A and B are shown apart, each in its own frame.
Chain A
Amino acid sequence: DGGITQSPKYLFRKEGQNVTLSCEQNLNHDAMYWYRQDPGQGLRLIYYSQIVNDFQKGDIAEGYSVSREKKESFPLTVTSAQKNPTAFYLCASSIRLAGEGTGELFFGEGSRLTVL
């Protein structure tokens, strides 16, 4: 089946450790995104990528890094510089950029990160 796969679903990390969340899509979409979801805060954009080897910071990029070496993959690294990393992380993709009006976002099922 076509879709977005995020892994792991649950992740625990000690303070000071970096952690990488995986996101893979087989929809042949050009654009990919990472959102952070906190209770009562909606979805906040961390990074997005329009094309391979290119990505842009979103509203809350500090303490995060990404790469886009392959069209299908857009991993997110939560670094030790992220002061409050405990959250639910959602990856999404779209045929083209979502703000252009035709780029429906297809979301994965999310990864819940807990910092101990």
Chain B
Amino acid sequence: GENVEQHPSTLSVQEGDSAVIKCTYSDSASNYFPWYKQELGKGPQLIIDIRSNVGEKKDQRIAVTLNKTAKHFSLHITETQPEDSAVYFCAAPANGGSQGNLIFGKGTKLSVKP
């Protein structure tokens, strides 16, 4: 089955700097990689996702890159702001998508210092 590893577990940056969170996955059949953001006291919310037929996707200050050969994908946040402080989770489909649910990484707590 799929295994997703996420690093780092905590990340602290100054406001305006960039932040990068990396995930690796094990199942080469996986084809969909979402990122979720969880603010304190709330449920996670999808912020961006990427399919395996593209290498990069951007949405304003956030971007996700995918390296299928190395089986890793990364979340990039530029010009960080205090409201970016949250826990971020990456995910990949269980069993290459055939099982119908997602396997999540253990999360990265991002702190943006003003």
Q: Which residues of A contact B (CB under 8 A)?
A: 4, 31, 33, 35, 40-45, 48, 50, 56, 58, 90, 92, 97-101, 104-105, 107-110
A108, B89: Cβ atoms under 8 Å?
no
- Contact partners of A90 in chain B: CB under 8 A: 43-44
B105, A101: Cβ atoms under 8 Å?
no
- Closest partner residue, chain B, to A91 (CB atom): B43
A99, B44: Cβ atoms under 8 Å?
no
Please count how many residues in chain B sit with their CB below 8 Å of the partner chain's CB atoms: 29
CA distance in complex: A48, B103 (Å): 13
Minimum CB–CB distance for A115 against chain B, Å: 21
- Contact partners of A100 in chain B: CB under 8 A: 32, 93, 97, 100
9-residue interface stretch from B34-42, B62-70, B73-81: B34-42
- Closest partner residue, chain A, to B100 (CB atom): A97
- Closest partner residue, chain B, to A47 (CB atom): B101
CA distance in complex: A4, B42 (Å): 12
CA distance in complex: A92, B46 (Å): 12
B45 at the interface (CB under 8 A from A): yes
A48, B107: Cβ atoms under 8 Å?
no
- Contact partners of A41 in chain B: CB under 8 A: 106
A42, B44: Cβ atoms under 8 Å?
no
B101, A48: Cβ atoms under 8 Å?
yes
